[in-house]
Amino acid sequence: MSLTQDQISRYSRHLLLPEVGVEGQEKICNSKVLCIGTGGLGSPVSLYLAAAGVGTLGLIDFDVVDQSNLQRQIAHGESTVGVLKTESAKRRINDINSDVNVVLYNERLTSENALTIFKDWDVIVDGTDNFPTRYLANDACVLLGKPYVYGCILRFEGQVSVFGAGDGPCYRCLYPEPPPPGLVPSCAEGGVLGVLCGIIGCLQTNETLKIILGQGDTMSGRLLIFDSLATKFREMKLRRDKNCPICGDTPTIKELIDYEQFCGILPPQDDPADRDMEIEPETVKQMLDAGKNFRFIDVRGEGERQICRIDAATLIPLDVIEERNVEKLNGLQKSDEIVIHCKSGVRSLKAAKALKDMGFDNVKSMRGGILEWSEKIDSTVPQY
């Protein structure tokens, strides 16, 4: 497809670059890029790719816009809270560049649909924040021979690389095994500086455009690490692992696997023992109203407690409990009846198990955490 007069005017600053020119801009306009996620990273990636003139832009997301997203997810705004993120992002993309063909996948990326979705795209850009999807996207890209533009953010640090390009390494070469479940918090648990999403997302977009143009040195074989507090970049050299199970000399992974299971992430309801350790927020409220004698423990961090709290709960952060030092547990006795809460019920269940291992027998985790408390018990408690 040749450039129209309108496109020549729109992309004139690109056309002035010898490394782009008319031929390069035509490559961009004829390219097809798929972005997994339209959140913190997916927002700047999709918006700048649209501005650059990428002809077809795919968006995968199944979530809706929430007010807590607006601090960093610039594809969305107050007017689209409650709207599907893909639909919200499409509105913004079309406002930036109506020539872009936006293809929406309002669904979760899974082992069943990944290869079918990925096969028609030139470049896959990862804007997700969980390990199962990263391994899934990596393996699907390796099996299909697609370049995988990786980005990762948490708190004040971000990472960027390109995997599966040519004979370069893949994500498994860098991280052969996922971390234990719960060891690395998500952005929803650990927080993230909003502008960091823009910095890392723009770097991912830069890598994507270089791949499309065939210009410059991509981040294949390199991992770029950015510390926003120090404003410093570090670079690590990466090599393809000849023993890698997906891209090595004798690969053992020939098809997509169960990535939730691979990463050790199983829903609590799958384990009857976990269900037995949980208690409903309504029951906890009844216990408080009745003046029942029990210890109510908040295992979130101090920063989270400053955002919102249940006044009756005492703070003992999860990392303190995991030290397994009874003397640091604010006077908890093994004979106490204990109810634990966190933000969503994941960390409190982990804390309850740790206390059980220490000999505390009467311990329950409040299902759904303070989020469910806000929804069902006290709507004046803010959600975050």
Residues 73, 58: Cα–Cα separation, whole Å:
17
Rounded average pLDDT per 10-residue block, the chain, 384 residues: 93 97 98 98 98 98 95 97 97 97 97 97 96 97 97 96 91 92 76 96 98 97 97 96 94 94 69 81 96 95 91 94 89 94 93 94 95 94 89
Task: Quote the CA–CA distance of 74 and 38 in Å, as a whole number.
Answer: 9
List 158's β-bridge partners, or say none: 153, 226
Domain boundaries, the chain: 31-262, 268-376
CB neighbours of residue 318 within 10 Å = 20
| Nearest CA among 383, 346, 384 for reference residue 366 | 346
Q: Which residue from 86, 103, 99 is spatially nearest to 33, judged by alpha carbons?
A: 103
What is the reported pLDDT for 183? 72
Please identify every residue annotated as catalytic.
187, 342
Q: C-alpha distances in angstroms, 332 versus 125, 297, 312, 321?
A: 48, 10, 15, 11
The pLDDT, as a whole number, for residue 286 is: 96
Q: Which CATH architecture has domain 31-262?
A: 3-Layer(aba) Sandwich (3.40)
Confidence (pLDDT) at 268: 46
What is the pLDDT, as a whole number, of residue 366?
A: 97
Rounded to an integer, what distance in angstroms lies between the CA atom of residue 372 and that of residue 366?
Answer: 9
> What are the structure tokens assigned to 291, written together?
């003046």
Which superfamily does CATH assign the domain made up of 268-376 to? Rhodanese-like domain (3.40.250.10)
Size of the chain in residues: 384
Spatial CB neighbours of 251, under 8 Å, sequence gap ≥ 6: 244, 245
